[in-house]
Structure 1
Amino acid sequence: MSSTPSASLFKPLQEGDPGDVGGYRLAAVLGTGGMGKVYLSYTPGGRPIALKVIRPEFSEDPEFRRRFKQEVQAAQRVQGLYTAPVIDFDTDGAQPWLATAYVPGPSLAHAVAQHGGLPLRSVLLLTVGVAEALTVIHGAGIVHRDLKPANVLLASDGPRVIDFGIARAADTTALTGTGVSVGTPAFMAPEQASAGTVTPATDVFALGQIAAFAAIGSPAYGEGSSHAVLYRIVHEDPDLSRLPTELLPMVTRCLSREPADRPSLTEIIGLCHELSPTALHQGEDWLPQTVADSITERLRLPGPARTPQPMPTVAPTPTEVSPSTPPPGTVDPYAPTGLATPSAPGAPGPVRPRAPEPPAPGHHTATPGYPANHTPPPVTHQPSAPQVRQKSRRTGLIVAASVVGTLVVLGVIGSLLSDGGGKEENKGAGAPATSSGPTGGDGGAGAGQQRKDPKPVSYQGIDLTDGYQLMLADNPPRPVQSEDAAYDGGDLYFKVVNFLDESSIGTDNGKLVLLDNARKGSLETCRTETRYTEKIDLDQLTQGSQICVLSDAGHVAVATYRGRSSESDPGSYVTLDLQIWRNAQETDGN
């Protein structure tokens, strides 16, 4: 077989495709869906990623943006063996995007279309893997909503579920009624198709559809127009006449019209183990050889473009530095020239590398080698190489520096003389006052000056799950799971005590103040309040209640309570809006 990447799998970038997104250079097009276009790219360390750019039509809808941001933040909490983890994202840019780990394998839809239905053992391993993925997804408070063969990828060591929860962002947009298809009717549950009701049991129905499709090679409710398929799902029984008899009881229960009659995910995993004549263990032999060969084909990726090193027009001397930009009239080898002729079918040519831009609010760039919920260290941008300076100009620079130094010394001497030599405080009635202001200390400001208050940054719709905490210094503040019950170091956490039916919002790294309904949260309000506590019971809050958060690190925030998850949600969480003033207070260490 050829060692070059397949042109049918990795399509070259076309006119209109961006050259890079969020600092990631795009290498090829992986596919196009109802919500956007998916590209192949690479992390700085060379790991392939799948980067989905949301369609402009959705990007222009404020409600979609709000929900998309919520779903991406929730998806970051999903860290399962059978899911593709979120690597990076930007929900606030001109065109939102989401990057996940690249899975080198065909979708179940593609595999069945090319090779037909799968054997019993493969179907059982597929069902167990997807059920385990759904267990993790539901545990993070997410219902997939759009589980279908195209969203199940077949990797060499088991299936991977992708796009979990993202379809929820489009459910209430104006676009869903104007011909833009988000879900797939053939795999919707009856309650989803008729009333739009979605629960974890909705995903169980879709899992039954997935198992039947993998075994039969076609949808259990047939094909045709969307209206016809939806009618059969709501009012008729599926056609399971070609389903292997071993699978019939389990699939039939999953496809029950009543959600309460469907089995739990744990039951489904147990049933699959009981049905298998041999022990079920995921391995590289879990798929038929013909399908496994297509995985090998997807491992031959079009590599990231390699840019040649620039050749300096004039060799630098040992005391000079090569120019960072070539002189006029020379060719800049880093200048963007579009895509060069590919060296292999589907492989884009070299493009100019682009350094990642500083993250905007709502944008988190994951550091390679760290998990998605890890707050990366701040990125230090190295300055570009200085321009060549002629030796003849150095004397002028030295003289200028000497003059500046002399002026600084004279200024210091004058200041000391005016302050009485700096040994006694000037306590006269006309003496200028030095105010540290609310921030305390000089904060880097000169004597007699007050440090300016920091500008606030706002984050909307943060879902803080039971047992999770967040830090105000993070941009954006991302809920991460507490390692123990102490919530050690968390600026804000949410905790549920189930056996007492108590819930609270608390801090282990500062103080909280519950504001009266008549008071509007602000930096000044939070600074002047003295009714401090470390925990606020949820029954004290109503929608719109505001809480001052004053962290020991010097950050101040106003958290606006937007409500709690409903009983139908698989997870328990509270939704908050945050307005944060970072480094607004003096800390004990200053």
Structure 2
Amino acid sequence: MTAEPFGAPSPSAFEALSSDDPHAIGGYRLCALLGAGGMGRVYLAYTAGGRPVALKVVRPELAEDPGFRHRFAQEVASARRIHGFYTAQVVDAGTDATTPWLATTFVPGPSLQQVVHQHGPLPERTVLLLVAGIAEALHAIHAAGVVHRDLKPGNVLVAADGPRVIDFGIARAADANPLTGTGLRIGSPGFMAPEQALGLPATPATDVFALGALIACIGSGMPPFGDGPEPASLYRAIHEEPDLTHLPHGLHELVRLCLAKNPEDRPSTAWLIEAARNHPATGGELRISDGWLPEQVSSEIQRHTALPTTPPPPATLLDPGRSAAVAPAAPVLPAPAPDRPQPAAATRRAATTARRRARIALLTTAAFLVGGATIFVLLNSAYFDHHGNKDVAARGSHPPPSPSTSPQPTTASGYSVAYTNLELTSPDSDYEFDLKAGKVTQNNSTWYLGRENGAYYVPDDSAAYIPPAGPLTLTDCLKGIDTQPASTLPFTTLRVGRSFCVRYPGGQDIAIIRTLTDGSNDGPVKVSLTYYRHSA
């Protein structure tokens, strides 16, 4: 079990950086400390263009644990799929950095924990509006296949336009026996469902239980199972009914349903939203507008919107060519190298390493035992492209695109054709399409198309677009990637004949991919590739 993953902001909205704090992490300029907790420290930081973000850096001792790093990368990859109006969107991460970090949109407001601590219980209508927003956030989180596991007042920020749920699913990264000596806990007593306290798998219903406890806490100022020793709180959550003595009577039934001991007896997030809408205190309408918060809470939010003055960036950021003598004394953590796989992709690749080694070992053993029979396996038709050339699976490389297709005359918007309609086959999920080189490879490219869990994947800082249907042009891609970027590339959508496109990480090159065989995690997959290179 772990304590609060990254901690709630300190009583002072912004705390000045100390000499031990870095000036920059992953290319973001740090401005102030927002808080610290069991898993690390949270900073107010700025993008190169001046947009504020909340940047969370894990503790060094956690960063040294390979198991934690792997789980952290998995959770970050899952969190990046979540898009909800009432969630703090994950915008960037450095899971393979020396000290892993995570950047989310900055929410200018205090946590519910701070609000209740400073101003007491919230009015019934405010609580119901918060319930609807948090339930909508949970719906988006669960739709992405993620369970929060640590929903509590400290993990819900309050902005002028509604609540924001933060740290969804990230706490699970610390769920390992080797870390128990650090004093970390997964989940928070008083908000943990019985099944979670007993070590059983967490489900969406686990988050609904936590929401019920949160409602009771912000509506009464007291957790429903007491705030005494942790074992006592956990025991009461498992065996006893909640204490709702100080909670407004109009919220009792809602809370009791959420706090049902049996997960199957708890309501869904959609039901909770409708219950809040139909409650007499909301008058049949859910609307975040002026007056939805008590005046003193609105004033508190204003304090969080007055961001501190941004300190000048370190000399190394202003002029990379200066000597080390003018660099700041405080450390600057490096951004991931541009030619290395980006966070979620690095995780996917690490996860397949064991499978690849096992496969190679199996083929080697087969070659030793049965000799020529293995040759048949390696020369199976699935390992040839449409030219009759053996794929990388058979001989370790693929011939470059034909000179007749590269280069081509310049096309629209300063693009030229590198190759067109190049058909390639990936034998299984251990192999990726190298979009830049036009070949099939194993974990060796910087711009690639892989597959896992019923979907294609690309580097995290690539952008993709799936058109409604029909042929796809370069102009369509340039417009669609900027206006309708795709967050996932599922096989169910990209059936035979469907096309989609991908933009090079941090650049302008475009690849258009057309599916020639239905996607599969295990068997061969064939696609047609067209690559447009930008003159810049």
TM (normalized to structure 2)? 0.67
> Deviation of residue 494 (structure 1)?
3.2
For residues 141-180 of structure 1, what are the structure 2 equivalents within 5 Å? 141-172=145-176, 174-176=178-180, 178-180=182-184
Instruction: Quote the residue 1:292 is aligned against.
Output: 298
Cα distance in 1 between the residues matched to 2:466 and 2:200: 34
**Is 1:360 aligned to residue 340 of structure 2?**
yes
> Deviation of residue 290 (structure 1)?
1.0
Instruction: Quote the residue 1:121 is aligned against.
Output: 125
Q: What one-letter code is carried by the residue in structure 1 that aligns with 2:39? A: M
Equivalent residue of 2:250, what SS? coil
Query: Using a 3 Å threshold, how does the CA distance of structure 1 residues 356 and 465 change in structure 2: closer, same or farther?
Result: closer
Query: Using a 3 Å threshold, how does the CA distance of structure 1 residues 309 and 192 change in structure 2: closer, same or farther?
Result: closer
> Deviation of residue 177 (structure 1)?
6.0
For residues 321-332 of structure 1, what are the structure 2 equivalents within 5 Å? none
**Is 1:439 aligned to residue 400 of structure 2?**
yes
Instruction: Quote the residue 2:6 is aligned against.
Output: none
Q: What one-letter code is carried by the residue in structure 2 that aligns with 1:280? A: L
Query: Using a 3 Å threshold, how does the CA distance of structure 1 residues 357 and 493 change in structure 2: closer, same or farther?
Result: closer
> Deviation of residue 47 (structure 1)?
1.7
Instruction: Quote the residue 1:370 is aligned against.
Output: none
**Is 1:109 aligned to residue 113 of structure 2?**
yes
> Deviation of residue 352 (structure 1)?
9.9
Instruction: Quote the residue 1:579 is aligned against.
Output: none
> Deviation of residue 227 (structure 1)?
1.2
Cα distance in 2 between the residues matched to 1:52 and 1:324: 25
Instruction: Quote the residue 2:444 is aligned against.
Output: 456
Query: Using a 3 Å threshold, how does the CA distance of structure 1 residues 257 and 483 change in structure 2: closer, same or farther?
Result: farther
Query: Using a 3 Å threshold, how does the CA distance of structure 1 residues 303 and 353 change in structure 2: closer, same or farther?
Result: farther
> Deviation of residue 64 (structure 1)?
2.1
Instruction: Quote the residue 2:23 is aligned against.
Output: 19
Instruction: Quote the residue 2:529 is aligned against.
Output: 552
Instruction: Quote the residue 1:386 is aligned against.
Output: none
Query: Using a 3 Å threshold, how does the CA distance of structure 1 residues 205 and 44 change in structure 2: closer, same or farther?
Result: same
CA-to-partner distance for each residue in 1:296-319, whole Å, 9 max, x for gaps?
111121122236999xxxxxxxxx
> Which of 33, 40, 50 does residue 36 from structure 1 map onto?
40
> Deviation of residue 94 (structure 1)?
0.8
Instruction: Quote the residue 1:560 is aligned against.
Output: none
Instruction: Quote the residue 2:326 is aligned against.
Output: 335
CA-to-partner distance for each residue in 1:193-242, whole Å, 9 max, x for gaps?
11332111011111111111110111111012221111111111110112
Query: Using a 3 Å threshold, how does the CA distance of structure 1 residues 333 and 469 change in structure 2: closer, same or farther?
Result: closer
The count of aligned residue pairs is 409
Cα distance in 1 between the residues matched to 2:309 and 2:339: 26
Instruction: Quote the residue 2:517 is aligned against.
Output: 534
> Which of 42, 47, 50 does residue 46 from structure 1 map onto?
50
Query: Using a 3 Å threshold, how does the CA distance of structure 1 residues 257 and 90 change in structure 2: closer, same or farther?
Result: same
Q: Percent identity?
A: 44
> Deviation of residue 21 (structure 1)?
0.4
> Deviation of residue 87 (structure 1)?
1.5
Q: Is the contact between residue 25 and residue 334 of structure 2 (CA under 8 Å) also seen in structure 1?
A: no
TM (normalized to structure 1)? 0.61
Cα distance in 1 between the residues matched to 2:293 and 2:453: 37
Equivalent residue of 2:215, what SS? helix
Instruction: Quote the residue 1:518 is aligned against.
Output: none
Instruction: Quote the residue 1:87 is aligned against.
Output: 91
Instruction: Quote the residue 2:219 is aligned against.
Output: 215
Cα distance in 1 between the residues matched to 2:198 and 2:190: 13
Equivalent residue of 1:29, what SS? strand
Cα distance in 1 between the residues matched to 2:496 and 2:22: 44
Q: What one-letter code is carried by the residue in structure 1 that aligns with 2:327? A: P
Instruction: Quote the residue 2:260 is aligned against.
Output: 256
Query: Using a 3 Å threshold, how does the CA distance of structure 1 residues 507 and 192 change in structure 2: closer, same or farther?
Result: farther
> Deviation of residue 74 (structure 1)?
1.8
* Structure of larger gyration radius: 1
Q: Is the contact between residue 92 and residue 360 of structure 1 (CA under 8 Å) also seen in structure 2?
A: no
More helix by share: 2
> Which of 183, 190, 197 does residue 187 from structure 2 map onto?
183
Instruction: Quote the residue 1:275 is aligned against.
Output: 279
Q: What one-letter code is carried by the residue in structure 2 that aligns with 1:494? A: P
Cα distance in 1 between the residues matched to 2:175 and 2:314: 47
Query: Using a 3 Å threshold, how does the CA distance of structure 1 residues 191 and 204 change in structure 2: closer, same or farther?
Result: same
Instruction: Quote the residue 1:204 is aligned against.
Output: 208
Instruction: Quote the residue 1:304 is aligned against.
Output: 310
Query: Using a 3 Å threshold, how does the CA distance of structure 1 residues 25 and 334 change in structure 2: closer, same or farther?
Result: farther
Cα distance in 2 between the residues matched to 1:239 and 1:298: 33
Q: Is the contact between residue 107 and residue 154 of structure 1 (CA under 8 Å) also seen in structure 2?
A: yes
CA-to-partner distance for each residue in 1:389-414, whole Å, 9 max, x for gaps?
xxxxxxxxxxxxxxxxxxxxxxxxxx
Unaligned runs of 5+ in 2: 1-9, 346-396, 408-436, 478-485, 501-514
For residues 46-85 of structure 1, what are the structure 2 equivalents within 5 Å? 46-85=50-89
Q: Is the contact between residue 158 and residue 286 of structure 1 (CA under 8 Å) also seen in structure 2?
A: no
Cα distance in 2 between the residues matched to 1:265 and 1:308: 46
For residues 470-549 of structure 1, what are the structure 2 equivalents within 5 Å? 470-471=457-458, 474=459, 482=466, 484=468, 493-496=489-492, 508=498, 534-536=517-519, 545=522, 547=524
Cα distance in 1 between the residues matched to 2:313 and 2:339: 25
